Structure 1
Amino acid sequence: MTVLVSQTRRGFSRVVAASVAGVLVAGSIALAAMPAHAIVPNFVADNGITYLLGDVAGEVTVVGYNQSSPKVVIPADVTFDAKTYLVTAIGNEAFWEDGLTEVVIGANVTAIGNGAFASNLLKIVDIPASVSTIGAYAFSNNYLATVSLHDGLTEINDEAFLDNELVLIDVPATVTRIGAEAFGMNALTSVTLHEGLTSIQNYAFWENPLTTLTVPASVKTLGRDLFYMNDGSLRVLTSVTFVGAAPTVVAAGGSDSSLGNVAGLTVHYLAEFEVDGGFTPGTWQGYNSVVDTIVSFNMGGHGSVDAQRLVPEALAVAPLLTAEGWVFGGWFSDAALTAKFNFAVAPTADVTVFAKWTAAVAATPSLVLDLGLAVGDAVAGKTVTVSGAGLKPSTAYDVVVRSTPATIAFGSADASGTFAGSGVIPAGLAAGAHTVTLSGTAADGTAVTRVAYFSINTAGVVTYLSYSEAQAVLAATGFDPAPLGFAALLLLLAGGAIVAGRRRSVA
């Protein structure tokens, strides 16, 4: 039996079409799920919440509140008579008209009963992932602007969020059913539905300024007048997009139709679901219908890019790609990569485009090392400048003075494989041969160095100076060959040291 109920609240005037039989059945089911108050004793906790000890050992249900505060916290558990119980349910009308402005729902609650928080002053609510069922009119007649729902929720019952101020809602993928009028009389401009939802009941989104809605492929039932009173002065719904085949239960355009008035509304579907999938070209169930196109992207083995669904006359957007060690060469219409795809022309049918790749040629690494010295210069305190290019992006470089190692500069190449830096040669170097080594990493991952060789006398003045070219370090030994002149100098110094040692020994 269908009845019309007239109601006014906060300046809203509505005419609600509801099935009395459906509401009674839903109410009786929800009530049966809640423990009967007379079965076992109840108790009142310190925060004014009344709990009922249910049939399940160790669990309690919230059944009432003494209105001691407009802000209430429903705990995960509560202790009574030296025993701790999990708070697993909020009973029917437990907080009805209690003047609540804030509520925190404990992490063990699995069911919220009919009218549990109806007719309060709530503006925000976070329903924890433990909750699987939200009862009929559970949060109706509040001021909710933000509601957070989480995976784990399976059913949103009739009028659950009726008559609030919601602007957007994201229904979790675990929800299978949205009840009648569940989100009616809000301010919704964005509704996100996910695969897994199977049923949207009568008047689910009535009196909301929605402009578009996408219906998941899993939805099989669309109730009547889902967008009732979203027409006339409020009419802004212009498109409904179906991801998959047409629902098997749907009311055709006209009086009490699922999608409302046919004027100004276009149904979008995919070519693969035409005829056999239930959709018909030109019109479907009395609504104007059009085929959207799909542009798919073949990445040629270099990752993946989401396909793009386009309404008629819309243009695809070319994804910009990168892959380490490869150069992207554009998008092509054929697998042989002979004809470039024209993104300036709207596709008229589903199409796959192909990415072209060529192997990148590794850049030759370049290292610059300048000690700022010449033979005859004092070495202490001199600034060493370094730079590099063609290196692996974001890899480290350092500058080390030897014979006793001392790092005088370090850093990292940027995203383009370049760097620049400086350091200071420390004072106190002993007379003899020394090196300054600049080390980095080439684009192919091999280590590269450039070395400056110099020697100083007892006064700290340079007597010899030469540089190597940038070269790869031998992998097995890490050996950097010294120039012949410097090697000869090392041998001469070593020989002199031996002779001096012998002379000292003889003396």
Structure 2
Amino acid sequence: MDADQNDFRWSVDGSTGTATIFGFAGARASSITIPDTIVSGGQTYPVTAIAREAFENAGLTSVVLPNQLRTLAFNAFKGNRLTSIDLPETVTYVGESAFYGNLLTSLVLPNSVTGVGFNSFGYNRITDLTLSTGLTSIDSMAFHANLLTSVTFPANITHIGEWSFEGNPFQTLNIPSTVQYIGPDAFFNASTNPTLIVNVEGTGPIVSPRDNRGSFGSGGATIVPQCQYASQFGALWNGYTTARTRTVTYDLGGHGTPIADDTPICNTTIHAPADPTDGDWVFTGWFDDVDLTVEHDFTAPVTEDTTVYAGWSALTAPTLTGRTTASFVAGEKGTWSPDTLDGSPAPTVTADNLPDGLAIDPDTGDIAGTPTVAGTTQVTLTARNGHGPDATLDLTLTVEAAAVTTPVVTTPEVTTPVVTTPEVDPKEARPAADVSHGDGVLPSTGMDVTASMLAFGLLLTVMGLAVVRRGRTRSD
């Protein structure tokens, strides 16, 4: 029906400028729209509250709440047949038993809601619940006797009161680390608690123990701590079994003797089991995937249930092929390698009669080193892996002598020095003068007599050496 303030009892508060609805003013209806405002004395007042017991047991099947509503008081809509309710984004508190005993199937508490009272939504049929991020506490019996199988608690929740979710058929619960307290029988439900899984973040809140009105009932609920905190939980936590371990399963792919599962505490490591065996097969390692492409790391902590897969390779006899001759040079490094070396498991290669300075790599069959003596040797290589006949290869190994290099001797060339006599510029020659000045000294000619005499002496010496050499040559 359309909103008409005359259909309702109401009051206004001049000091706050708000109005409160107290119920019907006259005839009742099963579907109502409560007015957003009340006009009184020429002034408009927004409706912000529904008074206690205002529409209790009124036979309502549908209601539209005012768009500025803030609070719903005790028993405000208790005992009706409402199947849904749309709470405005302005609601901050839902009072005790406000919607108790209706037929609600889903409920969204807007983020403006900071509190829900005792039994406020008890005895409905809620299967889907969204809690307000503004909630810090859930009062006793607030959502008891509904049909919830799971619920997500906002990060601000610190307190969950006793019986608050009693009677719901929960299958899983996720308790955030911000929750500090969970009251007695908070999640009690005798018919379903044996299968209840409770995932606990952090070190866990204060709870009532299982044998004394346990927070998760008296059945077989299982507590699953976070991996990094698993070691802080015992096998039992407040009387409830803990799933602090993880299971590592070994899949042998139909080979060998089955290996028992490992169950380490979460976030700890395990040792690899002994290598399995199977007659005509060789074990090749443990892998993370069924396709055997990622080798399993046993040094990594186990954080979840894991299956590791055994790799296998069929046993095959060794094969060894290659050139039947090998050439080396004495004093020089060299290498000879086989063309193929196969088998499962991988064979080991030996060689007999190797010359000094050479050795064989048992894994690859390579012959390498620096031989010391020239010569030809017959060498037999043998590949073995303990399965099937050995493989052999006969090799003629020749070590050639190192090449001899003749040194080249050179005679140094003798060069005869060339002596030159300095020329005198005629223009610089002085005119003739008296041969004597009367003092017994020769007159100056413009030449350095000492230098000229030295040059002339050197020339005679060279000419004398040349004559002596010719004389020796003839006598020889």
Using structure 2 for the length normalisation, give the TM-score: 0.50
Match of 1:48 in 2: 7
For residues 45 and 113 of structure 1, the distance between their equivalents in structure 2, rounded to whole angstroms, comes to: 22
Match of 1:272 in 2: 228
Is the Cα–Cα contact under 8 Å of residues 143 and 165 in structure 1 kept in the other structure?
yes
Q: 2:204 aligns with which of 217, 225, 246?
A: 246
For residues 195 and 66 of structure 2, the distance between their equivalents in structure 1, rounded to whole angstroms, comes to: 38
The reply to whether residue 165 of structure 1 matches residue 125 of structure 2 is yes
For residues 341 and 91 of structure 1, the distance between their equivalents in structure 2, rounded to whole angstroms, comes to: 68
Give, in angstroms, the shift of residue 176 of structure 1: 0.9
Match of 2:214 in 1: 257
Is the Cα–Cα contact under 8 Å of residues 184 and 205 in structure 1 kept in the other structure?
yes
Q: 1:290 to 1:164 in 2, by over 3 A?
A: same
1:141-190 CA distance string (max 9 Å, x none)? 11111222111111111101111111121212211111111111111122
1:210-267 CA distance string (max 9 Å, x none)? 1111111111110000123x11x444642111122311x3211112111111x42110
Secondary structure of residue in 1 paired with 2:243: strand
Give, in angstroms, the shift of residue 291 of structure 1: 3.1
Q: 1:86 aligns with which of 25, 35, 46?
A: 46
Q: 1:182 to 1:292 in 2, by over 3 A?
A: farther
Larger radius of gyration: 2
Match of 2:140 in 1: 180
Q: 1:255 to 1:57 in 2, by over 3 A?
A: closer
Is the Cα–Cα contact under 8 Å of residues 211 and 236 in structure 1 kept in the other structure?
no
Is the Cα–Cα contact under 8 Å of residues 266 and 288 in structure 1 kept in the other structure?
yes
Give 1:77's aligned amino acid.
T
1:29-83 CA distance string (max 9 Å, x none)? xxxxxxxxxxxxxxx9545121122363320111222453211112332222321
For residues 242 and 230 of structure 2, the distance between their equivalents in structure 1, rounded to whole angstroms, comes to: 11
Count of matched residue positions in the alignment of Structure 1 and Structure 2:
261
Give 2:210's aligned amino acid.
G
Secondary structure of residue in 2 paired with 1:273: helix
Is the Cα–Cα contact under 8 Å of residues 108 and 131 in structure 2 kept in the other structure?
no
The reply to whether residue 101 of structure 1 matches residue 54 of structure 2 is no
Give 1:250's aligned amino acid.
V
Is the Cα–Cα contact under 8 Å of residues 194 and 221 in structure 2 kept in the other structure?
no
What are the ranges of 5 or more consecutive residues in structure 1 without an aligned counterpart?
A: 1-43, 294-310, 314-332, 334-338, 352-507
For residues 133 and 342 of structure 1, the distance between their equivalents in structure 2, rounded to whole angstroms, comes to: 54
Give, in angstroms, the shift of residue 283 of structure 1: 1.2
Match of 1:349 in 2: 303
Match of 1:59 in 2: 18
Secondary structure of residue in 2 paired with 1:272: helix
Q: 1:100 to 1:346 in 2, by over 3 A?
A: farther
Match of 1:285 in 2: 238
1:1-34 CA distance string (max 9 Å, x none)? xxxxxxxxxxxxxxxxxxxxxxxxxxxxxxxxxx
For residues 139 and 77 of structure 1, the distance between their equivalents in structure 2, rounded to whole angstroms, comes to: 23
What do you get for the CA RMSD once the two structures are aligned? 3.2
Match of 2:184 in 1: 224
Is the Cα–Cα contact under 8 Å of residues 210 and 240 in structure 2 kept in the other structure?
yes
Match of 1:200 in 2: 160
What are the ranges of 5 or more consecutive residues in structure 2 without an aligned counterpart?
A: 247-263, 267-287, 306-476
Q: 1:122 to 1:57 in 2, by over 3 A?
A: same
Is the Cα–Cα contact under 8 Å of residues 65 and 87 in structure 2 kept in the other structure?
yes
For residues 235 and 130 of structure 2, the distance between their equivalents in structure 1, rounded to whole angstroms, comes to: 31
- Runs ≥4 residues deviating over 6 A: none
The reply to whether residue 130 of structure 1 matches residue 83 of structure 2 is no
Alignment of 1:291-302 (within 5 A): 291=244
Is the Cα–Cα contact under 8 Å of residues 114 and 136 in structure 1 kept in the other structure?
yes
Q: Percent identity?
A: 28
Q: 1:346 to 1:170 in 2, by over 3 A?
A: farther
Q: Which of the two has greater strand per residue?
A: 1
Q: 1:235 to 1:222 in 2, by over 3 A?
A: closer
Give 1:74's aligned amino acid.
I
Q: 1:346 to 1:212 in 2, by over 3 A?
A: farther
For residues 39 and 46 of structure 2, the distance between their equivalents in structure 1, rounded to whole angstroms, comes to: 9
1:439-474 CA distance string (max 9 Å, x none)? xxxxxxxxxxxxxxxxxxxxxxxxxxxxxxxxxxxx
Is the Cα–Cα contact under 8 Å of residues 22 and 52 in structure 2 kept in the other structure?
yes
Give, in angstroms, the shift of residue 110 of structure 1: 1.0
Q: 1:159 to 1:55 in 2, by over 3 A?
A: farther
For residues 270 and 124 of structure 1, the distance between their equivalents in structure 2, rounded to whole angstroms, comes to: 36
Q: 1:133 to 1:46 in 2, by over 3 A?
A: closer
Give, in angstroms, the shift of residue 346 of structure 1: 11
